[in-house]
Amino acid sequence: MLKARHKLARRKWAMTMFRARTDWDRVIFSDEKKFNLDGPDGMQYYWHDLRTEKETFFSRQNGGGSVMIWGGFSSKGTADIAFLSGRPNSLDY
Protein backbone atom coordinates (compact mmCIF):
# COMPACT_ATOMS: atom_id res chain seq x y z
CA MET A 1 0.00 0.00 0.00
CA LEU A 2 1.33 3.43 -0.89
CA LYS A 3 1.81 5.90 1.91
CA ALA A 4 0.74 9.54 1.54
CA ARG A 5 4.35 10.67 1.00
CA HIS A 6 4.78 8.11 -1.80
CA LYS A 7 1.60 9.34 -3.49
CA LEU A 8 2.80 12.94 -3.26
CA ALA A 9 6.20 12.02 -4.69
CA ARG A 10 4.57 10.20 -7.62
CA ARG A 11 2.22 13.10 -8.27
CA LYS A 12 5.14 15.56 -8.19
CA TRP A 13 7.07 13.40 -10.68
CA ALA A 14 4.02 13.12 -12.95
CA MET A 15 3.45 16.89 -12.91
CA THR A 16 7.14 17.47 -13.72
CA MET A 17 6.86 15.12 -16.70
CA PHE A 18 3.58 16.72 -17.77
CA ARG A 19 5.08 20.22 -17.79
CA ALA A 20 8.30 19.15 -19.50
CA ARG A 21 8.39 19.59 -23.24
CA THR A 22 9.40 15.99 -23.77
CA ASP A 23 9.06 14.58 -27.26
CA TRP A 24 6.85 11.67 -26.19
CA ASP A 25 7.14 10.12 -29.66
CA ARG A 26 10.72 9.22 -28.70
CA VAL A 27 9.91 7.60 -25.32
CA ILE A 28 9.28 3.88 -24.82
CA PHE A 29 8.10 2.31 -21.57
CA SER A 30 8.94 -1.37 -21.15
CA ASP A 31 9.10 -4.02 -18.46
CA GLU A 32 9.85 -7.69 -18.10
CA LYS A 33 8.88 -10.42 -15.66
CA LYS A 34 10.61 -13.75 -15.09
CA PHE A 35 8.54 -16.79 -14.12
CA ASN A 36 10.19 -19.92 -12.71
CA LEU A 37 8.48 -23.05 -14.02
CA ASP A 38 9.09 -25.22 -10.95
CA GLY A 39 8.04 -22.84 -8.19
CA PRO A 40 9.26 -19.66 -6.54
CA ASP A 41 12.88 -18.65 -5.98
CA GLY A 42 14.44 -19.56 -2.67
CA MET A 43 12.77 -21.48 0.10
CA GLN A 44 9.13 -22.41 -0.16
CA TYR A 45 7.04 -22.01 2.98
CA TYR A 46 3.53 -23.22 3.64
CA TRP A 47 1.13 -23.37 6.55
CA HIS A 48 0.44 -26.81 7.96
CA ASP A 49 -1.40 -28.29 10.91
CA LEU A 50 1.12 -29.34 13.56
CA ARG A 51 -1.00 -32.44 14.29
CA THR A 52 -0.51 -33.83 10.78
CA GLU A 53 2.58 -35.07 8.98
CA LYS A 54 4.57 -32.50 7.01
CA GLU A 55 4.16 -32.44 3.26
CA THR A 56 7.29 -32.96 1.18
CA PHE A 57 8.06 -30.80 -1.84
CA PHE A 58 10.40 -31.97 -4.56
CA SER A 59 12.15 -29.86 -7.14
CA ARG A 60 14.06 -30.96 -10.18
CA GLN A 61 17.76 -31.39 -9.63
CA ASN A 62 18.68 -29.20 -12.59
CA GLY A 63 15.82 -26.76 -12.11
CA GLY A 64 12.61 -26.51 -14.04
CA GLY A 65 13.68 -23.66 -16.22
CA SER A 66 12.11 -20.26 -16.56
CA VAL A 67 10.44 -18.00 -19.06
CA MET A 68 10.72 -14.24 -19.28
CA ILE A 69 7.95 -12.09 -20.72
CA TRP A 70 8.72 -8.64 -22.12
CA GLY A 71 6.34 -5.95 -23.29
CA GLY A 72 6.34 -2.24 -23.99
CA PHE A 73 4.30 0.72 -25.16
CA SER A 74 4.82 4.23 -26.47
CA SER A 75 2.74 7.09 -27.83
CA LYS A 76 2.51 5.11 -31.09
CA GLY A 77 0.95 2.02 -29.50
CA THR A 78 1.99 -1.24 -27.91
CA ALA A 79 4.80 -3.64 -28.73
CA ASP A 80 4.20 -7.34 -29.26
CA ILE A 81 4.78 -9.42 -26.15
CA ALA A 82 8.05 -11.34 -26.37
CA PHE A 83 8.61 -14.67 -24.64
CA LEU A 84 12.28 -15.34 -23.86
CA SER A 85 13.45 -18.70 -22.59
CA GLY A 86 16.75 -19.24 -20.84
CA ARG A 87 19.05 -16.37 -19.97
CA PRO A 88 18.48 -13.29 -22.13
CA ASN A 89 21.41 -11.48 -23.70
CA SER A 90 21.72 -8.10 -25.39
CA LEU A 91 20.41 -9.48 -28.70
CA ASP A 92 17.24 -10.75 -27.01
CA TYR A 93 16.45 -7.24 -25.82
Query: For the range 7-13, what are the long-range contacts, defined as Cβ-Cβ under 8 Å and sequence gap of 24 or more?
Result: none
* CA nearest to 39, candidates 56, 20, 64, 22: 64
pLDDT tens, position by position, 29-59: 999 988 877 666 655 666 778 888 877 666 5
Res. 5: pLDDT tops 90 = yes
What's the average model confidence in pLDDT over 5-21? 91
The mean pLDDT value of the chain amounts to: 81
What's the average model confidence in pLDDT over 2-8? 95
Tell how many helices (H) and how many strands (E) occur in the chain: 1, 4
